[in-house]
Chains A and B, each alone.
Chain A
Amino acid sequence: MTSEPIISTNDLNLWYHDTHALQSISMTISKNQVTALIGPSGCGKSTLLRCFNRLNDLIDCVKIRGEILLDNENIHAAGTDVVMLRKKVGMVFQKPNPFPKSVYENVAYGPRVHGIKNKGELDSIVEQSLRDAALWDEVRDRLHDSALGLSGGQQQRLCIARTLAVEPKVILMDEPCSALDPIATAKIEKLIDALKQDYTVIIVTHNMQQAARVSNYTGFMYLGKLIEFGQTNQIFENPREDLTENYITGRFG
């Protein structure tokens, strides 16, 4: 399984004040693949995920050294348009966070911000995004109802549709199923599998079975370091590092 790279980090370091939260991370994320980041709480996996669309920029005390390349361009280069970066690298969070607006407006919001005003065009983007997020059939008759009336699983898929509406290349997911029941989780996992046809997905999860089910590649992080990175079946069947072995077999964490 070889695939062209879309994101690579080179000796990436991050500090919160004096805390060295990411230590010399070098990894390559493959295009149109699902990459999972696993590790115990506080290992830096969410911090790493948030580096990919520079969400950590919003925290004052953060200092970053090292390189992150998206399509061979350094995302920290002077002149990088962070708004465009976050359009290319969308994000779905742990807790569904729809805007307190209608289903339609939630999805149309992004394209509208990026300049699309034509109603027909917006209608078509909304439908396609909702279809791609496997939500269309459930909400087609209630597009103008409040998004807050949807179930948790539907809200999370709406957030995914909202991310898809601006045509990202990469979708970051930070524990996207941890607030969902098993049936809603199964729908999101099925969706993740379908999304990799067109997008690259990077998912942070506490649930190792989920990482094993949905991802092609898995990175195991511990105390700010990327301990092991490889194909998912290798990581879960025969990890090379003892730390990985001990974590995934439940001997710590």
Chain B
Amino acid sequence: MSDKFHTELNRLKQDTTEMAQFARDMLRESLDALFNQDTEKALQVYSRKKHIRDVTIALEDRTYQLIALYQPMAKDMRLIACTLKMITAAERIGRYGKDIADMVKDLRDQPDFPQRLPIPHMADLVLGMIDDVIVAYKTENLDPIKNFTSRDDTVDALWLSILREMLTFMMENPQTITRSAYYIMVARYLERSGDHACKMAENIHYMITGEWIEIE
């Protein structure tokens, strides 16, 4: 009985890891499509929205079944609790990818900025946090998530900086309003994805140690 439970629990964890990776790829590829004005790739990312929704429901359903059938305790319970949070956060991240992908076609005819913007850098930082969260969850290791407070501070600072920069562009040149407004949303989605990564890191810390920490 318990062997069956642990086999199913391990499989759930593996599938959740894959789902998080899938969501992370949606975000990464949507940003690539945005930066390269690749509408075909954007469409392709957008089309994954049904899959991520279906996988989310299926994984949540399996999690609730394990709770109902086996009443897990201690680290099994903590793994299940963390898994539920991982599923929710990963779905959000995947959906941000879908939303960003949806912007690409609207920006096709909008003038681009002559300057380099910090959004690609911000994207790398946030995706790095998501990658580390997935590794920490998969390997049950705290090392990849230990500096999350300062990493999230950097992301937050970039978000404010991009917001200010975009407002300036809009005031200087109304022709940039559409692109600026969209980029504000992209930066905001990245900032939120960073927060989701922090939330996942808190839950992984609880899963591994049984203790709660706060990443601010």
| Smallest CB gap from B77: residue in A | A237
B73 smallest CB distance to A (angstroms): 4
A212 and B74 in contact, given A237-B210, A250-B1 (Cβ under 8 angstroms): no
CB of A245 within 8 Å of the partner chain = yes
CB of B7 within 8 A of chain A?
no
Interface size class of A (residues with CB under 8 A): 10 to 19
* A212 lies within 8 A of B73 (CB): yes
- B211, A238: Cβ atoms under 8 Å? yes
Which residues 58-87 in B have Cβ within 8 Å of A in the complex? 70-78
Do B71 and A245 have beta carbons less than 8 Å apart? no
Residues of A within 8 A of B74 (CB): 236-239, 244-245, 248-249
Q: How far is the CA of A248 from the CA of B71 in the complex (A)?
A: 10
A223 to B174, CA, bound (A): 78
A208 touches B73 (CB 8 A): yes
Least CB distance, B77 to chain A, in whole angstroms:
7
Is chain A's interface secondary structure helix, strand, loop, or mixed overall?
A: helix
B35 part of interface (Cβ distance < 8 Å): no
A239 to B77, CA, bound (A): 12
A209 contacts partner chain B, Cβ-Cβ < 8 Å: yes
Is A209 a contact of B71 with CB atoms below 8 Å?
yes
Interface residues in A204-240 by Cβ distance below 8 A to B read 208-209, 212, 236-239
Query: In the assembly, what is the distance between CA of A208 and CA of B184, in Å?
Result: 52
Roughly how many angstroms separate A245 CA and B6 CA in the complex, as a whole number? Answer: 14
The answer for the CA separation of A99 and B92 in the assembled complex, in Å, is 64
Verify if B2 is at the interface (C-beta below 8 Å from A): yes
> Distance in Å from the Cβ of B69 to the closest Cβ of chain A?
12
A119 touches B (CB below 8 Å):
no
Q: Mark B129-163, 1 if CB is under 8 A from A, else 0.
A: 00000000000000000000000000000000000
| Interface membership of A251, Cβ < 8 A | yes
The answer to whether A248 touches B78 (Cβ under 8 A) is: no
Chain A 78-107, CB-CB to B under 8 Å as 1, else 0, gives 000000000000000000000000000000
Q: State A236–B81 Cα separation when bound (angstroms).
A: 14
Instruction: Provide the bound-state CA to CA distance between A249 and B210, in Å.
Output: 14
* B2 close to A250 (CB less than 8 A): yes
Assuming the A-B contacts A237-B210, A238-B210, are A249 and B71 also in contact, with contact meaning beta carbons closer than 8 angstroms in the complex? no
The answer to whether A245 and B75 touch across the interface, beta carbons within 8 angstroms, is yes
The answer to whether B75 touches A249, judged by C-beta atoms less than 8 angstroms apart, is yes
**B200-216 toward A: CB 8 Å interface, digit per residue (1/0)?**
00000000011100000
Contact residues in B for A236 (Cβ distance below 8 Å): 73-74, 77
CB of A206, distance to nearest CB on chain B (Å): 14
From residue B80, how far is it (CB to closest CB) to chain A in Å?
A: 11
The interface residues of chain A lying within 8 Å CB-to-CB of B73 are 208, 212, 236-237, 248-249
A residues in contact with B72, CB < 8 Å: 249
Chain A residue nearest to B206 (CB atoms) is A238
Complex contacts, B75 vs chain A, CB 8 Å: 245, 249
Closest to A240 in B: B210
Please tell me which one of the listed residues B1, B5, B6, B78 contacts residue A238 in the complex, with CB atoms under 8 A apart.
Answer: B78
Residues of the B chain whose Cβ atoms lie less than 8 Å from the Cβ of A251: 2, 6
Q: CA A248 – CA B77 in complex, angstroms?
A: 11
* Alpha-carbon separation in the docked complex, A236 to B76 (Å): 10
Q: Which of B5, B70, B73, B209 has the most CB of A within 10 A?
A: B73
Would you mind naming 14 contact pairs between A and B with Cβ atoms under 8 Å apart? A237-B73, A237-B74, A238-B74, A238-B210, A245-B74, A248-B73, A248-B74, A249-B2, A249-B72, A249-B74, A249-B76, A250-B5, A250-B6, A250-B70
Lowest 5 CB-CB distances: which A-B pairs, in order? A238-B210, A250-B2, A248-B73, A249-B76, A236-B73
Residues of chain B at the chain A interface (Cβ within 8 Å): 1-2, 5-6, 70-78, 209-211
A interface residue numbers (CB < 8 A to B): 208-209, 212, 236-239, 244-245, 248-251
Q: A237-B74, A245-B74, A249-B74 are in contact. List 19 more A-B contacts (CB 8 A).
A: A208-B73, A236-B73, A236-B77, A237-B73, A237-B77, A238-B78, A238-B210, A238-B211, A244-B74, A248-B73, A248-B74, A249-B2, A249-B73, A249-B75, A249-B76, A250-B2, A250-B5, A250-B70, A251-B2
